[in-house]
Chains A and B, each alone.
Chain A
């Protein structure tokens, strides 16, 4: 038997909650009895809080999706950079070879950026939305990370992996990499990242449908 998806259950719960509230709105005299008071408490307090919490969780989960990030016009070149036909482009190589989940590509490597990460990051994310709709957005190539890219994002997959550990350069400087003293990205080793300003010069890979 196929169980309904969590999203379907959430919509059903929202509908049931609204229906129960509507019953009390139409017949508020129901709350005169003890049973009616319990019914109202469930409809007016328990269910709305439950619905709000589940919906918030749904929104947060959805914000991790690649298509969510790329739904902002300004992010389009970054989405395009995932299809660059050049293995030296780190995001493209990871995306095209499914080294990261393709549906959550942005979130996997940017766990502390914008709506992801802590409260501060989430406020930055809200600011991004504000700028997107009401402010003046910078050109895509001028977008910068708020803080230098954290090696933690690389090491949480690569640390312990055979291909990483068998590289003498990695093992020689592992402490320096762990402490972010040496950056994986800007130390000259893996410095070709999104490079959206150079897209006119590169070829793109198109996956077979």
Chain B
């Protein structure tokens, strides 16, 4: 396994954990019937999910090749 693949797998794992946490917070916010639940949904759930998605998209970007001399 190349160093590149190790990096991608690590990024996928981190992204996946952020997404699971984000989705979990979204579930909690939907079960909690208080106005504060909306802030929890946007501020915590939404943020974690967004970070997870962005990290996943970043892991898709191929690494730039170093300048060969």
Contacts and interface: CB of A to CB of B under 8 A. Distances in A.
Interface of A: 7, 10-11, 14-15, 17-18, 21-22, 24-25, 28-29, 31-32, 40, 44-45, 48-49, 51-52, 55-56, 58-59, 62-63, 67-68, 71-72, 115, 126, 128-129, 132-133
Contacts of A7: 30
Interface of B: 5, 8-9, 12-13, 15-17, 19-20, 22-24, 26-27, 29-30, 33-39, 41, 45-46, 49, 52-53, 56-57
B16 A22 contact: yes
A14 B16 contact: no
B29 A18 contact: no
Contacts of B53: 44-45, 48-49
Main SS of the interface on chain B? helix
B52 A129 contact: no
A11 B30 CA distance: 9
B3 to A, nearest CB: 15
Contact of A48 (B9, B22, B35): B22
A129 B41 contact: no
A22 B20 contact: yes
Given A48-B23, A72-B35, A129-B39, A28 B30 contact: no
Nearest to A22: B20
Contacts, number: 93
B65 to A, nearest CB: 21
B23 A21 contact: yes
Contact of B57 (A31, A45, A52, A115): A45
A129 B30 contact: no
Contacts of B29: 55, 59
Contacts of A68: 33, 35
A58 B45 CA distance: 14
A55 B30 contact: yes
A22 to B, nearest CB: 6
Nearest to B13: A25
A14 B39 CA distance: 19
Nearest 8 interchain pairs by C-beta: A25-B16, A28-B9, A44-B56, A28-B12, A18-B23, A21-B16, A55-B26, A21-B19
Name the residue in A40, A56, A59 with the highest tally of chain B Cβ atoms < 10 Å from its Cβ: A59
